[in-house]
Chains A and B, each alone.
Chain A
Amino acid sequence: MKAILALADGRIFEGKSFGASGEAAGEVVFNTAMTGYQEILTDPSYKGQMVTMTCPQIGNTGINPEDIESRGVFLSGFIVREYLENYSSWRATMTLAAYLKENGVVGIDGIDTRALTRHIRDKGAQNGIISTTDLSHENLVAKARKLPSMSGLDLVTGVSCEKPYNWREGSWEIGKGHANPDPSTLQFRVVAYDFGIKYNILRCLVDVGCNVTVVPADFPAEKTLAMNPDGIFLSNGPGDPEPLLKAQIEIRKLIGKKPIFGICLGHQLLGLALGGRTVKLPFGNHGSNLPVMDISTGKVEITSQNHGFAVELESLGDAACLGHENLNDHTVEGIRHCRLPVFSVQHHPEASPGPHDSRYLFGRFVEMMKKEKGC
């Protein structure tokens, strides 16, 4: 079935539909990761976005029940160069197309994704529509223009969990599946704010000995502190941090009380809570190959990233200093509080997809909690 991708600036791409049919809308971004489309599909941070994979062959390994990052699929459209129905993987149980259909995600294949990527790179990320029902270019462009900008949009509500829950599953290992450690070995009680948390963050926390309670995005700080956790984690999530005022207020109340570790949106919210500013990047960083320097050691780690906004260092003043730097665009990749055991990173140390170079950050969080606990 024919499908059309129309961008707000009038650029049209014609392709074929795969997955669900119908119409989808969102901000079009590209991801340069060469593996891990299943993790990307299930990453809640993509809420409100349509993702094009720069890697041209997608669907090769099908879909398996293990590599999922959340309870569902949150992105609204999936754009690829070539989707192949026949997959090859000993773990797969269904095709990508069937999975998209099951989750109501509109996919488009057969388009010049490199041209699309260059367009986004040069013109910036923008809204678009994929449709299999309305094939009129004018209509689609008009619809795309009417879509609200991502800036200022609260996308976390609807992604975050509704009520607190406990998490005890650890990382996946070949031949063993996900670890299921004895709860008694989980010595650190962590409250994790869910702004759209990826499961693998929770798994990584479990791996380093955390007993995690996941709480909704607007969970009151008082209640959190009442649980007397050893540390607080601020998760990744979709979109712009600025409109999330409630979260910023709660985080401000938590700073100085307990060790805090934030990732991605959690990092941006921490920056805002510390009095800083965030800005929208032209097309963001979405991929698994981005070099980041840990300022404290001078070592470079290859990271997985997925964000369209960034914290401005100058805006933080004396509150925090640069912890990590993105070596490609030199944006702030991580901050740490000058006095308190509070730090965050823009990238994804839990990877999934992506390299495991930054896993040490979970260890660093544990070290902080240990120190605070006095053990």
Chain B
Amino acid sequence: MPRRTDLEKILIIGAGPIVIGQACEFDYSGTQACKALKEEGYEVILLNSNPATIMTDPDFADRTYIEPVTPGMLARIIEKERPDAILPTLGGQTALNCAVSVAESGVLEKFGVELIGAKLPAIKKAEDRTLFKKAMGKIGLEVPRSGFAHNYSEAMEVVRSIGFPAIIRPSFTLGGTGGGIAYNLEEYEKMAMAGIDASPTDEILVEESIIGWKEYELEVMRDTADNVVIICSIENFDPMGVHTGDSITVAPAQTLTDKEYQILRDASLKIIREIGVDTGGSNIQFGVNPLNGRLVVIEMNPRVSRSSALASKATGFPIAKIAAKLAVGYTLDEITNDITRETPACFEPAIDYVVTKIPRFTFEKFPAADATLTTQMKSVGEVMAIGRTFKESFQKALRSLEIGVCGLDSRLFDMRTETRRALSQKEQKLLLEKLRIPNCDRLWYLADALRAGINVEEINRDTGIDPWFLHNLREIIEKEEELRQAVADGDKSDLSKTVSRELFVEAKRMGFSDRMLSILWSTEEESVCSARHKLGIRPVYKRVDTCAAEFEAYTPYLYSTYEEECEAFPSDRKKIMILGGGPNRIGQGIEFDYCCVHGVFALAEDGFETIMVNCNPETVSTDYDTSDRLYFEPLTLEDVLEIVVKEKPDGVIVQFGGQTPLKLAVALEKAGVPIIGTSPDAIDRAEDRERFQEMLHKLGLRQPENGTARYFEEAEKIAERIGYPVVVRPSYVLGGRAMEIVFDTDNLRRYMTTAVQVSPEHPILIDKFLDEAIEIDVDALCDGKEVVIGGIMEHIEEAGIHSGDSACSLPPYSVHDRIVSEIRRQTALMALELGVRGLMNVQYALKGEEIYILEVNPRASRTVPFVSKATGRPLAKIAARIMAGKTLKELGISGDIIPEHISVKESVFPFVKFPGVDTILGPEMKSTGEVMGIGYSFAEAFAKSQMGANVTLPLSGTAFISVRDADKKHIVNVAEKLYKAGFGILATSGTAAFLKEKGIPVKNVNKVAEGRPHIVDSIKNGEVALVVNTTQGSQAVADSFSIRREALMHGITYYTTISGAKAAVDSIIALIKNELDARSLQDYLKQITGCA
């Protein structure tokens, strides 16, 4: 059946902000869907609150609503736009939940809107555990024994029939939020109650544990003619018990015979048909008992998922794109496979390589969080690597992670001298614990277990990891020893003579990096590399083609391996290579991928061949459709240089992918790579503390007093000179890693001894902390001669809160024009002095009338997409063109765009996933994503940003206020406004006394330490609608921790800064007066003239 002609206008719902469990994979799928539907001539309406997405670029949809993804807003947009259909299956759980809610409220019926992709009954059948269990029973499939509970007594009854360990899964939550595994009654009580709390329907499913079973996922597609195909099978390296998002996964499945695989396939077909997903992709998870093959169905996602993105990248089959086409009536046999161009999409990809995905964690950001891996997802990103064997693919994935490892680095051994030794008792104990309890470091300990001579059977018993994987790792470890021995006593001056070519090739074929070899051979990476080249050992590039070479592939989607034949076939066109950002992490995420993709778009428009290098399977940049040529490779010096040798690009861009490519800049340039844009020297000049200071002196600009310390005494001296409080941080970091505000010598000592490793090579930076200063962020473009300001943003939260964590407003909402002009002048001065070619970001602190420069980054910043959306000026595209040689003048870019509308960016935090972690903000970045709110007043824009971030501003009720002394004078105004708006005010003694004195009626409540009933009781009883809590000093922070945590867990809106609270209260008052309206980005931008 060809495309439906009864539909004209289709609304796509995006996934909203990046959170744990829902990352840029939904931008990838949403972007594909927008493109596919527009290509088919449909009018596309889009709702997504995340400005850092490609899909929300104004040309990807006809009408783009950067508005909160909430049922209320969706209903409003439906009313306004009157779409014929909604496609809810491409925006993750957020979109699906939002669509379900609107469908249930009758809005769809009222306006005659059809759900396409998956209908309401199918969604319910897949998502509702009882219905799902029943459906599985009907088609003869087993699910783990289970039962539901909605309260304490039900929870206790259920667990009696199931026993321990028991798995707790809250209904309708993202990435299994609030779930876990309980091994005893005490844990169970706690987890069950937390789970009921986390579930929007106050419901948990308690399940029989099948921990240790093999875990598989199948990606299934179905069309309206009931054709069903399996796109990819995925096998989890980590057995059942670890959330699949936190598991290492491998595609295709490796340890199933055909008979066993077909059981999974048959079950998948039955499931998608029984659940009744009409069209598109679904993801089905299975558990398989390794002892007898007993199969249980774990769950089914009736939508495109994180695994679908992975499966798309792993196979070359664009699941989301095809899903969108199926949703409008096409059948699989009517769609052509883009890669082969002659065969239909109705087939099952054949893979002739092995794909490994490894998640990336950021527990270092949340020291109080429990780092045990469970059924609740905790990772923030992932890498994927492709190799011809599991060993190669696995080792490539390891070095893609960018966590300071270059392979199976040892935790217990000095790999230069010992790769074999017996362990001490203490080490043995540690090892056993690390193997038995899943954690993010497990696989490195696993390698050490093999080094210590523990056999595969034992490790399999302790970890449940399939012996096939373990034997592969054992072979790597054995090869490691052989490699070390080969050089141990040999001549290191010329390794090409010491190491046989055969052994060298074997090592590379197993995926050993040059860096790892240099460790094993106690030499420099450079020596390994030059020996390798001398021996003529170079990687070849193979194509990902969906068909295992059965047909010719027209898409250069490439990966490296060490074999005979290279299929890269580079062209002789003018070409530019863009290095991507690697795995998502806190501090470096989708914003940088957005810039990379824009760079590609702009350069392609200008006739360059574009080459993308990246290893993040979630992203738009790693879509084979985005650039002319895609190298799915680790972003290490070795891997990048080999591609450069193969491709010989005319230019390489390092300033779009965040810190990842920037770190390589100097080494690349040294190796003769033509880096275009701002020179690595200029980058260094901005990053090197002393050189930067010299520059500011020269320009007559001011920065907070500061110093660089290599040891404690030096730090102490500096701090005393400039005066406490001071901001301390290691040099060369992104996302404020290990950054702290220190108020006294004791804390400075603690910081330097426990928080960071200080050395002459890695000094710490100390800055005067500017209390109560306003922070301002500027993104600018410079071509070396002229400077254009992209956007000036005023932070809502005061300086001291990491810029990535604070909300901000464009244009500034409280700063005087005179100051803004001065900021413009200073920005231009620095851009020209540094010789920036491309983008530059500056952070200023404004204390009174004094402007201080906090930092300058001559690269794409996190705010580039936000600014581009707010002003309609595509900064990254312009920057790419500048780097390729154009001037701002030639591009017709001049002057600032100062829109009439106000845009507010708000950050989104993962606190709810990490029990025990405080929600207080500081100089270390903790947010995973962002949303944008746009309106014609600051209050409206801020209100939308809060809603988008899933913060509900209460319009009535009781506000609880408890602030530190320094904030008391500032809170009066907030309290007064709330009181006048009809809120009751509740406060702890100090704050209450202060407010009463100012004439505001306040009710006292006990602090937790003051006895019950106290404030936490009130929160738990639902008596509080809003919490404003600021605090300082470790004791006070500890005392008030439970207030913030309980507010978070009960979904009560809270603010931990005065400025945040002020903005919120103004928005509440505006909301009381007027409801929020939805407006499309295109409408806002229409009013801006002169935009590029």
Contacts and interface: CB of A to CB of B under 8 A. Distances in A.
B1017 interface: no
B344 A61 contact: no
Interface stretch (B86-94, B347-355, B406-414, B665-673): B347-355
Interface string B330-359: 011100000000111011111111100000
Interface string A143-181: 000000000000000000000000000001011000000
B467 A86 contact: yes
A286 to B, nearest CB: 9
A254 interface: no
Contacts of B258: 33, 35-36, 38-39, 67, 288, 351-354
Contact of B257 (A67, A81, A112, A300): A67
Contacts of A331: none
B232 to A, nearest CB: 10
- The CB with the most chain A CB atoms within 10 A, among B227, B233, B467, is that of B227
Contacts of B547: 32
A100 interface: no
Interface string A51-86: 000111100110010110000000000000110101
Interface stretch (A88-96, A270-278, A309-317): A88-96
A290 interface: yes
Contact of A175 (B233, B292, B390, B471): B292
Interface stretch (B239-247, B248-256, B683-691, B973-981): B248-256
A339 interface: no
B350 A34 contact: yes
B388 A81 contact: yes
B500 interface: no
A189 interface: no
Nearest to B233: A34
Nearest to B214: A88
Contacts of A35: 253, 256-258, 261-262
Contacts of B551: 121, 328
B650 interface: no
Interface in B158-214: none
B550 A351 contact: no
A214 B225 CA distance: 38
Interface residues of A, number: 55
A54 B292 CA distance: 29
A113 B390 CA distance: 15
Contact of A298 (B225, B265, B347): B225
Interface string A281-305: 0000001111101000011101000
B230 to A, nearest CB: 8
Contacts of A32: 350, 352, 547-548, 550
A84 B472 contact: yes
A183 B552 CA distance: 50
Contacts of B550: 30, 32, 54, 117, 121, 287
Interface in B526-552: 542, 547-552
A88 B467 CA distance: 6
B819 interface: no
Nearest to A87: B468
Contacts of A323: none
Given A35-B261, A115-B564, A299-B225, A289 B293 contact: no
Interface of A: 13, 30, 32-36, 38-39, 54-57, 60-61, 64, 66-67, 81-82, 84, 86-91, 112-115, 117-118, 121, 172, 174-175, 287-291, 293, 298-300, 302, 327-328, 351-356
Contact of B354 (A56, A112, A328): A56
Nearest to A302: B348
Nearest to A120: B549
Contacts of B352: 32, 54-56, 81, 113-114, 117
B257 A38 contact: yes
Given A35-B256, A88-B466, A299 B549 contact: no
What 9 A-B pairs come out closest when comparing CB atoms?
A: A36-B258, A115-B565, A353-B258, A54-B548, A88-B468, A86-B471, A32-B350, A35-B258, A289-B348
B263 interface: yes
A30 B350 CA distance: 12
20 contacts: A33-B258, A35-B257, A38-B258, A55-B252, A60-B255, A84-B472, A89-B255, A91-B257, A114-B388, A117-B548, A118-B565, A121-B550, A121-B552, A174-B294, A287-B548, A291-B333, A299-B225, A327-B343, A356-B265, A356-B266
Contact of B344 (A118, A172, A287, A327): A327
A51 to B, nearest CB: 13
Contact of A289 (B261, B350, B466): B350
A86 B293 CA distance: 19
B1080 interface: no
A64 B259 CA distance: 11
B401 to A, nearest CB: 23
- The CB with the most chain B CB atoms within 10 A, among A30, A38, A88, A293, is that of A88
B260 interface: yes
B481 interface: no
B263 A174 contact: yes
A290 B551 CA distance: 12
The secondary structure that dominates the A interface is loop
Given A32-B350, A288-B258, 8 more contacts: A35-B257, A57-B354, A81-B388, A89-B255, A90-B290, A112-B564, A113-B352, A352-B258
B455 to A, nearest CB: 11
A302 B225 contact: no
B221 to A, nearest CB: 11
A91 B471 CA distance: 18
Contacts of B292: 90, 174-175
B626 interface: no
B371 to A, nearest CB: 29
A90 B257 CA distance: 10
Contacts of A299: 225-227
B265 A118 contact: no
Contact of B542 (A114, A288, A298): A114
Contacts of A34: 233, 252, 350-351
B1004 interface: no
A60 B346 CA distance: 28
B814 to A, nearest CB: 61
B332 A300 contact: yes
B880 to A, nearest CB: 34
Interface string B871-884: 00000000000000
A349 to B, nearest CB: 13
Nearest to B262: A356
Nearest to B256: A35
Nearest to B389: A82
Contact of B389 (A56, A87, A298, A356): A56
Contact of A174 (B252, B293, B390): B293
A151 to B, nearest CB: 22
A111 B348 CA distance: 25
B274 interface: no
B229 interface: yes
Nearest to B344: A327
A164 B563 CA distance: 49
A187 B348 CA distance: 36
B549 A114 contact: yes
B291 interface: yes
A54 B262 contact: no
B657 to A, nearest CB: 30
B293 A90 contact: yes
A327 B333 contact: yes
A44 B1011 CA distance: 83
Contacts of B471: 84, 86, 88
B295 interface: yes
A32 B353 CA distance: 12
A57 B389 contact: yes
Nearest to A55: B352
Nearest to A286: B550
Contacts of A57: 254, 354, 389-390
A86 B468 contact: yes
Given A57-B254, A114-B563, A118-B565, A66 B259 contact: yes
